[in-house]
A and B are shown apart, each in its own frame.
Chain A
Amino acid sequence: MNPDCVIKKKVLLYPLWLRIWHWSHAALFILLLISGISLHFANPNAPLIPFATARVLHNLCGLFLSFEFLVFVLANGISGNVRHYRPVMKNLSQRLMKQADFYARGIFAGLSHPFPPTWEQKFNPLQQMTYLTIMYLVVPLIIVTGFMLWVPEWAPEQIFGMDGLWPAAVLHYLVGVALAVFFVGHVYLVTVGKTMTSQIEKMLTGWEEISTTKENDHERR
């Protein structure tokens, strides 16, 4: 890429549907997290949310989240946004290391992000791998196990001679924990943009400033 040709440009990297999806997903996630904690750590003396309420809330949010997940997968495919999720295997480990190194050291030294967002790839390698795993593996897993717990008749009767619900329940819990950890990291990483709020702004407005080359530029308007 010839640096002379590079121009800075604001593009709509996060279309409206994506933003609506993102924020509603976030809201559902928080509700599911709180109600999930209330169900798992049910305690008659110190309820976070009363059990009966938590059950209904958890089921409803779970249902909506499953629906939204389907919408996401479809819209992601149709709109072409899925390109950001397509992993490039070439030099993956080096690139991952580079990004990890940035979070571990570079960010303290005030260096710039090693993989700034472009039209073709808005995620950095670490982000991409995480999002790919979360959206196409972890979320489906929690949805499937969730449905098994909701409608136990759908769960396999027996797994390895044990009750079929048990692995689903444990898996649902573990995946929930994993998602909660992701959530903490995700919220924190919002602050690593150019300014403290620049990341959240772009998720609200959808516009992102990217670097591009001249010859590519006219193609996308």
Chain B
Amino acid sequence: MNAVNTTKKRTGPRTFLISLAMIGLMVWVGKTWLYPMFFERYTGVVNATLTYESSKELKASEIKAISDELTLPYRDRKAREKIPDEGNSFIERLRRERVMELKSVRDDSPYPHIGYFKRAGITRYDGPSTCLICHADMHAANGKGEFVKVNTLEDVVDTVHFRFQKNSKGFSTFGFDGREVNAENSLLNIPMGKIDRACGIPGSFSWTGWAELVKSKPESAHGEVVTRSEGCGQCHIGGNYHPATEKMMPIGDVPASAKEGIDCLICHADVYDMNQRVVIADSHGRRWDQDRSLRAAMTVGTPKVDSCLNCHQHNLGGDAFEGNRASKNRGHINERFSHDGAKRATPFSPSTDVHSAAGMNCLDCHVPEGHKIPRGLHGVDLVANDLPNKPVSCEGCHTASPHIRDVTHRAILNGHIARLACETCHIKELADYNVVLRDWVYPVWNKEEGVYTYVDVYQSGKPGKGMTYLWFNGNGTFLANALGDNPTGDNRYNPLMNQLVKIDDPEVLAAIRSAAEKLKLTYPDIDVDQYVREAANPLSHFTPEQVEKRRLWVEEKIRPLMKKGISRITPFKLFNARMYEDMGNQGLFGAMILPFDYASYYETGDPIQSVKTAIKHPIVRRMYEAPFKMYMMDAFMTYFGVDAWSAEYPLTANDELQKVEKHWMRQMATLMINHGIKRDGRTCRECHAEKGILDFDKLGYTPERAKELRHLPELEKQAK
């Protein structure tokens, strides 16, 4: 007996090591092959090798011609500096031509990569693989004044610009259940960000509206069908058939082919052709094309203002903003749509923003660490943040005492900073095409674009109308409502029960009414009164008990969040949308909105059919199944203020929608506005007056204090 035991014990270690190796091998095989295969089958996402037409091999002569053209303005300026006018234009020209060809002048010209490519024998731009030949590693700032070596590709893949979400800590968002979104760094966190955040402005999800081709019949084409591009992917640096879905899981990674689809040049190339940014279809599916020309690659450097604005002017200024370079170059083929109604309507351009006029680069304020770009400590709209602890603030440059010029009033102006955000005075209004109310359920024919489009029931950039002033402590709710409270107040400030659920400005009401009357021409069964009531009061379909329950909920769960930190009066853009909602997942603050399929929506103008098409997408189906429910949807819903996710699929076997209703969101969303800054701020009397832009009563001041604030003795004395 002893003998047997001894033998067993002596072979133990070997068996142990062998089994360890076996487990390792199995894990590796599973991770590399089995899991990705399973994932693609389960979610229906497609991955394939990505090719781009603009990525072409160029001949030496072509390269020479392009480099001459790109550097011409610089060399020309240099030649003019060196050779002054001497009265003989012929001699001048000859001499200048010589100067322009000098080696030193060529070497000194911008776009040093022209020379690097020449030396490295690079005659074609292949995407990341070309960049990584030299930039496999980079030295990224770590925020402490030091630089650390990082793998460039990994650094990019890990950014929000690629992932579209984070499941780590660092959201300034709180659920309606009172919990901070992903409060700790834990495995149980759910991936949150643009990838899975439904929103009424685009009216779709990132999967269901990633890269769409729409058949339009614009007036200008006289009945001909013109294919157009649409979808979330146009502003994504990945060129894949879907967003970086794999990154939402705690394990697994996007495949190498997706990483090869990263568009380095849209940020780094000085000369990037936005006309290449259109949807293309191949045998695997639809995706967004890129400018992968060697010409663009030759102009790489650190991102300039225009690089960021290729995408971000879309939500800052909007497509309708005339200074939007990208919307002027909407595609050689499959032209992108120009969207009416801007998300923020605060264009960043020399004529509309003082910092742009000063020639500042975006990265001057948004100082990056490697490829991670900070968006500041504040945020209301549930967007993942790569550097949640890195401030992007006015104070960073302007100090805590920014007012210097006005010697008489500088102290009192600075005094206001304790209660007012800089933007309150220095953004006076938004562009007038700022969308406030967008109705997706009554599409109308748009002659110019040749498709059915949503209706912007109300657009305005005026204070009190398209934008409002709220107390803000830097945080927001799960549905993008600014959190904050009047620090001197007695809980009478309550936007979730007052200003965000009631539109009472007669001018706005009149505008809604006229829009409804116009809609009635197309949809005769619209009841105009009801239409106005629903748009102006999104709680109108609530019973009094529900309203009361909501009021108590706000006091119990939201008030403590409002009281956190330091609140300042801050301007916000207001927004509400009407979409179809899954009433099985409804709470006091909203319901799960259902996406629209762009192609069917635009082409047929049948919103119901469009919703049906969209929710048949494999990922939306999976959302309504147990694994997704357990993985993230239950947690998602608790943030919504709903106990659990109802996995009842809103489409019946007979292709009928069930428990789906059309509703406005239960309160208006409030989006931060931080660009479009004006040098001159508002003056005292614009607020401290009987009809000032700040509604002191709604901001939670007592009637006495509000009156006092409207009638400052100093100002009254001066007036007399």
Asked if A pairs with B, the answer is yes
A219 / chain B contacts, CB cutoff of 8 Å: 3, 6-7
Report if B683 contacts A (CB, 8 A). Answer: no
| CA of A119 to CA of B7, assembled, Å | 13
| CA of A79 to CA of B10, assembled, Å | 8
A216 touches B3 (CB 8 A): yes
Report if B16 contacts A (CB, 8 A). Answer: yes
B16 touches A220 (CB 8 A): no
Report if B89 contacts A (CB, 8 A). Answer: no
| CA of A120 to CA of B13, assembled, Å | 17
| CA of A219 to CA of B10, assembled, Å | 11
B3 / chain A contacts, CB cutoff of 8 Å: 215-216, 219
Report if B691 contacts A (CB, 8 A). Answer: no
A220 touches B13 (CB 8 A): no
Report if A110 contacts B (CB, 8 A). Answer: no
Closest to B17 in A: A78
Report how many residues on chain B are interfacial, defined by Cβ distance under 8 Å.
Answer: 9
Question: What distance in Å separates the Cβ of A211 from its nearest Cβ neighbour in chain B?
Answer: 14
A80 touches B13 (CB 8 A): yes
A120 / chain B contacts, CB cutoff of 8 Å: 2
| CA of A88 to CA of B470, assembled, Å | 73
| CA of A50 to CA of B228, assembled, Å | 79
A80 / chain B contacts, CB cutoff of 8 Å: 9-10, 12-13
| CA of A118 to CA of B309, assembled, Å | 80
| CA of A120 to CA of B10, assembled, Å | 12
| CA of A120 to CA of B9, assembled, Å | 11
A216 / chain B contacts, CB cutoff of 8 Å: 2-3, 6
| CA of A119 to CA of B5, assembled, Å | 12
B13 / chain A contacts, CB cutoff of 8 Å: 78-80
Report if A186 contacts B (CB, 8 A). Answer: no
Contact with A along B1-41 (1 / 0, CB 8 A): 01100110110110010000000000000000000000000
Report if A83 contacts B (CB, 8 A). Answer: yes
Which secondary structure dominates chain A's binding surface?
A: helix
Contact with B along A60-91 (1 / 0, CB 8 A): 00000000000000000011100100000000
B9 / chain A contacts, CB cutoff of 8 Å: 80, 83
What is the size category of the interface that chain A forms with chain B?
Answer: 10 to 19
| CA of A216 to CA of B7, assembled, Å | 11
A220 / chain B contacts, CB cutoff of 8 Å: 6
* Best-buried of A80, A119, A216 by chain B (most CB within 10 Å): A80
| CA of A120 to CA of B4, assembled, Å | 13
A79 / chain B contacts, CB cutoff of 8 Å: 13
Question: What distance in Å separates the Cβ of B116 from its nearest Cβ neighbour in chain A?
Answer: 46
A78 touches B16 (CB 8 A): yes
Closest to B3 in A: A219
Question: What distance in Å separates the Cβ of B1 from its nearest Cβ neighbour in chain A?
Answer: 10
Closest to A215 in B: B3
Closest to A218 in B: B3
Closest to A78 in B: B13
Contact with B along A179-221 (1 / 0, CB 8 A): 0000000000000000000000000000000000001100110
| CA of A80 to CA of B3, assembled, Å | 15
| CA of A148 to CA of B13, assembled, Å | 33
Contact with A along B549-577 (1 / 0, CB 8 A): 00000000000000000000000000000
B7 / chain A contacts, CB cutoff of 8 Å: 219
A78 / chain B contacts, CB cutoff of 8 Å: 12-13, 16
A215 / chain B contacts, CB cutoff of 8 Å: 3
| CA of A157 to CA of B622, assembled, Å | 42
Question: What distance in Å separates the Cβ of A202 from its nearest Cβ neighbour in chain B?
Answer: 21
Closest to B5 in A: A120
Which residues of A are interface residues toward B (Cβ below 8 A)?
A: 78-80, 83, 119-120, 215-216, 219-220
Which residues of B are interface residues toward A (Cβ below 8 A)?
A: 2-3, 6-7, 9-10, 12-13, 16
- A-B CB contact pairs (8 Å), 15 listed: A78-B16, A79-B13, A80-B10, A80-B12, A80-B13, A83-B9, A119-B6, A120-B2, A215-B3, A216-B2, A216-B3, A216-B6, A219-B3, A219-B7, A220-B6
| Additional A-B contacts beyond A80-B10, A216-B2, A216-B3 (10; CB < 8 A) | A78-B13, A78-B16, A79-B13, A80-B12, A80-B13, A83-B9, A219-B3, A219-B6, A219-B7, A220-B6
